[in-house]
Homo-oligomer: A and B are copies of this chain.
């Protein structure tokens, strides 16, 4: 099966897990907003969780909960990031954003509820309690003020900064904003198996950086309809990105180098890691 077919199949299973989780929620506007925000998306983070689990011989039905959890957490961060006081976006995954479809208060609360749902999901399912707790603890650290939120805050600050960010500052920002959740996703399988997640974290760190560079390239060269979100945002805002620093070709070179480094980090793993290798290669060719 090709990587994209496999991604699609896993995305369907993650979606089922997420919708099952919402099935005993009240039939109200918050649940509608959560469902809306959870719809669509590549499910790349959830896919990394499932691949990382498979690589460490953790059964699919034990890993799916964490895959759903990271997608709930990612969806929450998008809902809040799209708010008028933040990035002010009206289109996400080809649909109106939550505050556009409903209102700001609903979007704030839907995001809040999705974060809580992530922590509910990560502690659910048949894994050992010790491992579920370790997943929850590492997720809380990656989602908090030291990582994801730090990156988000740096990103907001960059928009009104008088001098554009340096490359080193962009790397630090992106390590939080994009890297934190991708690292957790790739490490998750090792955590579930109770083994050292370092090779997976190294893989994810390179991959996360390549992913962000490809996002910057997409912002300049992509097609809004295929991407499902507004593009050219950074250029219009005059924001410093990997592309503004390195040019499109320079950025592509850097992304390729990072993917090579990511593949190198997978050396300890045999052919079982081939789908992760395909995933890494996909990151530099993606159009969405």
Q: Which residues on A are within 8 Å of B, measured CB to CB?
A: 22, 24-26, 28-31, 34, 76-77, 80, 83, 85-86, 103-106, 108-109, 111-113, 115-117, 119-120, 123-124, 129-130, 132-133, 136-137, 139-141, 143-146, 148-150, 152-153, 156-157
Cβ of A85 and Cβ of B103 under 8 Å apart? yes
In the complex, what distance in Å separates the CA atom of A156 from the CA atom of B112?
15
Cβ of A120 and Cβ of B144 under 8 Å apart? yes
In the complex, what distance in Å separates the CA atom of A159 from the CA atom of B106?
13
Which of these, B104, B116, B144, contacts A145 with CB under 8 Å? Answer: B116
Q: Name 25 interchain pairs, CB-CB below 8 A, sorted by A.
A: A25-B145, A26-B146, A26-B150, A29-B157, A34-B145, A77-B112, A80-B109, A85-B103, A85-B104, A85-B108, A105-B153, A106-B153, A108-B108, A109-B149, A109-B152, A111-B112, A112-B112, A119-B136, A119-B139, A119-B140, A120-B137, A120-B141, A129-B130, A133-B133, A133-B136
In the complex, what distance in Å separates the CA atom of A129 from the CA atom of B141?
17
Chain B residues, CB < 8 A from A133: 123, 129, 132-133, 136
Cβ of B149 and Cβ of A120 under 8 Å apart? no
Knowing that A85-B104, A105-B156, A106-B153 are A-B contacts, what are 16 other residue pairs whose CB atoms are under 8 Å apart, sorted by A's residue number? A25-B145, A25-B146, A29-B153, A30-B149, A83-B108, A85-B103, A86-B108, A109-B153, A112-B115, A113-B145, A119-B140, A120-B141, A123-B136, A129-B129, A132-B133, A136-B136
Given that A119-B119, A133-B132 are known contacts, is A145 also in contact with B30, CB under 8 Å in the complex?
Answer: yes
Cβ of B153 and Cβ of A112 under 8 Å apart? no
Given that A133-B132, A145-B117 are known contacts, is A80 also in contact with B150, CB under 8 Å in the complex?
Answer: no
Give min CB distance, A116 to chain B, whole Å. 4
